[in-house]
Structure 1
């Protein structure tokens, strides 16, 4: 495997330094994902921009955003993002049964949230080639046409991080280690 640097603010490419400084200010440290992405200022800026758009420009709740993110993380087999987003959900006080369902790929008890999980899964698995019935079922669950597109934004956001972590084998930060995840089935 090719070794990719986990950059510090000091050794990062010049165009990435200020973005890493803003990460450190926001998180108290530079997450390894950002430190790896710093190799490409374009990637780091794209990721931070799309993440900010997903957070601020959608009408989704924090729980709904995490359902989209975690569904993509699981389907893409991203161990780093599964651990990181589990920690994020815990900090946001997302219900434990929702977190467990997302980590295990099992149905969420709340029917509307489950419709979102299923739709996000279909967008990922079908690569956006949805059937009319997929969209109609999602709309019938109480979501809007805007949300259809917001799920695509969330999927794009996760492609940036999930694929980066696969290519670079990003080491898991200590702050996420307690939520380590494996794509292997969990014992019953």
Structure 2
């Protein structure tokens, strides 16, 4: 199998963004204070951009804490080998959510976390991605025994779906890591 080296979607400038993507890009700009390069790529497809932002909004309504949600996103990005998203989620986790650097480093190096509950979350996420949803009973039991609930497995699945969208988009159309995330590249 040959992998294409030609980006499927170019990074669009403001004046190139399709009309259907413009309101969503404005929301992104408001939220981040700038348009991250990957969102400029997403904007090629208004459906992809709206779908990603809609799923992200739903994900944020879950019962996992913001730090737990970021660890799911970071773990999936690491497993999917997406340097862009790994840098972005490391930045958000450490900078905005004050997740300890040792926790982020352990996730990035795929090492066990000292916190048993977070370790169970990261292990479930990693196995969901690696095994394409075919998770061992022991992994699920570990997750539940750590204090999580069955319904929260669904939240982890949504996080994995989000990262599948963004990680695959970056694989198809790699962009430079934004300066805001470069320290974590």
Same fold (TM over 0.5): yes
The answer on whether the counterparts of 2:85 and 2:167 sit within 8 Å (CA) in structure 1 is yes
State the alpha-carbon separation in 2 of the partners of residues 125 and 150 from structure 1.
17
Match of 1:81 in 2: 85
State the alpha-carbon separation in 1 of the partners of residues 12 and 23 from structure 2.
13
Deviates more, 1:125-134 or 1:82-91: 125-134
Instruction: Tell me which stretches of 4 or more aligned residues in structure 1 moved more than 4 Å.
Output: none
Name stretches of at least 5 consecutive residues in structure 1 with no aligned partner: 181-188
* Structure-2 change in CA distance of 1:103 and 1:130 (3 Å): closer
TM superposition score normalised by structure 1: 0.91
| Matching residue within 128, 140, 150 for 1:135 | 140
Q: Deviations 1:4-28 (Å, cap 9, x if unpaired)?
A: 3211332101100111111111111
The two structures, once aligned, show a CA RMSD in angstroms of 1.2
The answer on whether the counterparts of 1:98 and 1:108 sit within 8 Å (CA) in structure 2 is yes
The correspondence of residues 12-161 of structure 1 with structure 2, limited to 5 A, is 12-56=17-61, 58-90=62-94, 91-161=96-166
State the alpha-carbon separation in 2 of the partners of residues 132 and 94 from structure 1.
29
Q: Deviations 1:125-161 (Å, cap 9, x if unpaired)?
A: 1111123333222111111011111111110010000
Q: Deviations 1:38-69 (Å, cap 9, x if unpaired)?
A: 0000111111111111112x101112111111
Match of 2:180 in 1: 175
Name stretches of at least 5 consecutive residues in structure 2 with no aligned partner: none
CA shift, 1:73, in A, is 0.5
The answer on whether the counterparts of 2:120 and 2:139 sit within 8 Å (CA) in structure 1 is no
TM superposition score normalised by structure 2: 0.92
